[in-house]
Amino acid sequence: MKGAARTIGRDLGRIFQALAGLLFVSILVPLIWGEYYAIPALVVAGLVPFAVGYILTSRFRDAARPGKLHGMIIAALGWFCVAIFGSLPFLLIAWTVELAPPILGEPSQTSTLAAFTNPINAVFESMSGFTGTGLTMTDNEEVLPRTLQWWRSFIEWIGGVGVIVLTTAILARPGSGSLTLYESEARSERIHPSIVSTVQTIWWIFILFTFVSILLLWVVGMPLWGAINHGMTGLATGGFSITDNSIATYDSVAIDFALLPIMLLGSIAFPVHYLILQGDLRNLYSDLQTRWVFIYMGIGTVLLTVLVYVSDTYDSLFTAFRYGSFQFVSAATCAGFQTATDATNVALGRWSAQAQLTVVFGMVVGGAAGSTVGGIKLIRALTLLKGIRFRIADVFYPETAVRRLKINGRRLNEQEIRQEFEEAAIIAALWFLFLGLGTFALLIMLPQGEYTLENVIFEVASAQGNVGLSAGITGPESLPTLGKVMFLFNMWIGRLEIIPVLVTLRAVFDRGGLYR
Amino acid sequence: MTVSDIPIVGDLLESGAEDRVFDSLLLAGPVLILVIAFLGRSTVTVGLAAAYVLFFVAYVLYLGVRR
C-alpha cells in the first residue's frame, strides 16, 4: 500500500498543480474588471494547491505507474480535493469583502456573496461547478463579483471535459499511465492511439466550439460577458449562469433557440465531433449514441410540449414548444439552464407532475458517453434495452443456436454481451439506488409538506445527474446543511459514475479497519 | 518565426483536426471576441461574428459534401 500511496500522491500532486494554474490564469479577470480586492484571495487560493501539489510530485517523483485501483482512487480523491481547493476563491473573496480591509478598497458586501463565508456553501458551489452540475448556493448571481462569476463558469468549463483530462493534456507524458487515469474519469473513447494526443485533440475541439458558441450567443443578442460565460457553461453542459433567473432573464426566443445546438454539441461524444470535423457527417446518424441523441431529444421535446400544453401551463402551442424543448434539452444534456421561471412564465417546480417527471427522465438518462454530460448515458440505456430484448428473444431459439448482439456496429458474443450488460446494469442499479436513498433522506430532512415528492425526486436526480435544474429546494437557506452534504456526495458520485467513489470508500474503510 | 512556434498556440495547432481552416478559426475566435469587447455592438462587429459562425457551419457542411 505504501507504493500505492506514492503513486496516488504523485498523480494527485499533478492535478493540484494544474488547478493552481487555472487559479493563477484567473487573476487576469479581476485585473480587467478592476476588482483588485479579489487578487490576494486568488493568489492564496492558487498557492495552496500549488504548494501541496509541488510537495507531492517532488516527494513521489519516482512512484510507479498507476494501476486500475490507483486510477479509480486518484480520480475520486482528485475530484474531491479539487472541489475543496476550488472553493477557496469563493471563501476567501467572501471573507475579504466581509472584513473589508481599507487597503483593498472596502468592497461592499451582499447577502449573495456573504453566503460563501460559510465553507459548506463554498465547497458546494465548487463541487457543483467542477462536476458540471449547476445547482447553486447563490440567491442572485448578478451581484457576484465578476471574478467569481468567471470562476464559476471556468470550473464548469474545465469540469465538463474533466480535471484529469486537463492534467493529462498539460502535465502527462506518453507512458505515464495516462490511459488508466483517463478511463477512471468515466471516459474510454480514443481519437488517436496515444491518450495524450487524444486529450489534446479533445481540448482543441472544445476550445474551437467554445468560440463558436460565444459568438453565436452574442450575435443573437446576449451581452458579451453573458455570452462568454453562458457559451462556456452551455457547451460544458454545466448550467451556471451569471443572471438571477438563468436564461429566463433574457426572455429572448432567439437566445433560447441558439442555446439548443450549443447544449446538443456538448452532449455528443468528442470522437464523433472529430470525425464530423473531418467531413464524415455520416456519423450524425451512423453512430448509435449520436443518432439516439437526436431521436431521444426529439421525442422528449414533443412529449414535454404536449404535456405542458394540455395541462394549460402555457396557453399557446409555440410557447409550450419554446419552454418544453428548452427544458427537455437542458435536462437531457444535463446543462441545467432554466427558462421556465416565475419571473417570466411558469416555474418548473409548478409544472404538472407528469411534466416534471418527464424532465427527470431526461436527467436520469443523459446524453452520449464520451461527451460532457452526466446521467446514466444513452449507450448504457440502449445496452440495457437491447440486452433485455436479446434475453427475452433467447427463449424462442434452440439451445444450440449461436446468437450475437449488435451494438453500435459491434457484434458481441455471449461473453461480451454478459460483460457489457452487467456493467450497464450495475451502474444503472447503483444510480437508482442512490437516487432512492437520496430522495428518502431529503424527504426526512425537509420540512413536512413544503415540497412534493416529485419536487424532491427532481432535485436529487438533478444533483446526481449533474444537471442543475432546481424545483426550488437548493439554496443557502432552503437546503439544510445535511442536505448540502448529501448533494455533495450525489454530485461527486454522479460525475465519476459511482464506482470509483465506492472503490475509494472501500479502500479507505478497509485500510482503517472499519469493516472486514 | 511562424505562428506554430508560439508556445501554447503551436501546441493547439498540432492537436487539432489537421485542417488549417479550423486552425485559423481557432486563432481568429479570441481576436474577434477582443475586437467586440473594444468596439461593442455595431453592424460591423455583428456582421463579423455572424460571418464567423456561418463560415464554421458552412465549412463543416462543405467538408461533408466534398467527402
Q: Decide if pLDDT at A224 tops 90.
A: yes
pLDDT in tens, A364-377: 888 888 787 888 88
Q: How far is A290 from chain B (nearest CA, A)?
A: 17
pLDDT in tens, A41-68: 999 999 999 999 999 999 998 888 888 8
Q: What is the pLDDT of residue A457?
A: 92
Residues of B with CB below 8 A from A215's CB?
Answer: 29, 32-33, 49, 52-53
Q: What is the pLDDT of residue A176?
A: 55
CB contact (8 A) between residue B37 and residue A224: yes
Instruction: Say which of A203, A215, A279 has its CB closest to residue B49.
Output: A215
pLDDT in tens, A379-405: 889 999 988 998 898 889 888 888 888
**Is the CB of A228 inside 8 Å of chain B's CB atoms?**
yes
**What value of ipTM does the predicted structure carry?**
0.93
Instruction: Say which of B19, B53, B61 has its CB closest to residue A212.
Output: B53
pLDDT in tens, B42-66: 999 999 999 999 999 999 999 999 8
pLDDT confidence tier of residue A183, bands split at 50, 70 and 90: low
Pick from A434, A503, A514: nearest CA to A183:
A503
CB contact (8 A) between residue A277 and residue B22: yes
Q: How far is A156 from chain B (nearest CA, A)?
A: 19
pLDDT in tens, B4-24: 777 667 777 777 777 889 999
CB contact (8 A) between residue B36 and residue A211: no
Q: Are A242 and A229 in contact (CB under 8 A)?
A: yes
Instruction: Say which of B15, B26, B30 has its CB closest to residue A200.
Output: B15
What CA–CA distances, in Å, run from A441 to A243, A458, A482?
A: 31, 14, 9
**Is the CB of A197 inside 8 Å of chain B's CB atoms?**
yes
**Is the CB of B34 inside 8 Å of chain A's CB atoms?**
no
Chain CA centroid to CA A121, Å: 18
Q: Are A417 and A387 in contact (CB under 8 A)?
A: yes
Q: What is the pLDDT of residue A240?
A: 93
pLDDT in tens, A137-171: 998 999 999 999 999 999 999 998 877 676 666 65
Q: Which residue has the higher pLDDT, A132 or A163?
A: A132
Q: Decide if pLDDT at A117 tops 90.
A: yes
Q: How far is B43 from chain A (nearest CA, A)?
A: 10
Q: Decide if pLDDT at A116 tops 90.
A: yes
Hey, what's the torsion of the CAs at A296, A298, A300, A306, to 10 degrees? -160
Interface A-B, measured as beta-carbon pairs within 8 A, has a size of 80
Residues of B with CB below 8 A from A281's CB?
Answer: 60-61, 63-64, 67
Chain CA centroid to CA A87, Å: 16
**Residue in chain B nearest A277 by alpha carbon:** B60
**Is the CB of B21 inside 8 Å of chain A's CB atoms?**
no
Cell 410557447 locates to: A319
C-alpha cell of residue A132: 458540471
Residues of B with CB below 8 A from A208's CB?
Answer: 16, 22, 25-26, 29
Query: From the candidates B53, B60, B62, which should be mutated to test the interface with A, based on the most A CB atoms within 10 A?
Result: B53
Q: What is the pLDDT of residue A172?
A: 58
C-alpha cell of residue A26: 484567473
pLDDT in tens, A70-81: 888 888 999 999
Q: Are A285 and A293 in contact (CB under 8 A)?
A: no
Phi–psi pair at B4, nearest 5 degrees? -70, -5
C-alpha cell of residue A231: 457559451
Query: From the candidates A278, A280, A282, which should be mutated to test the interface with B, based on the most B CB atoms within 10 A?
Result: A278
**Is the CB of A170 inside 8 Å of chain B's CB atoms?**
no
Q: What is the pLDDT of residue A499?
A: 87
pLDDT in tens, A244-282: 889 999 999 999 999 999 999 999 988 899 999 988 999
* Residue extents of the structural domains in chain B: 3-66
Q: Decide if pLDDT at A1 tops 60.
A: no
What CA–CA distances, in Å, run from A16 to A12, A79, A344, A481, B11?
A: 6, 10, 42, 27, 22
Instruction: Say which of B15, B53, B66 has its CB closest to residue A215.
Output: B53
Q: What is the pLDDT of residue A193?
A: 73
Question: What gap in Å lies between CA A166 and CA A168, rounded to an integer?
Answer: 5
pLDDT in tens, A203-220: 899 999 999 999 999 999
Q: Decide if pLDDT at A449 tops 90.
A: no
pLDDT in tens, A3-28: 788 989 998 999 999 999 999 999 99
Question: What gap in Å lies between CA A213 and CA B31, rounded to an integer?
Answer: 15
Q: What is the pLDDT of residue A169?
A: 64
**Is the CB of A25 inside 8 Å of chain B's CB atoms?**
no
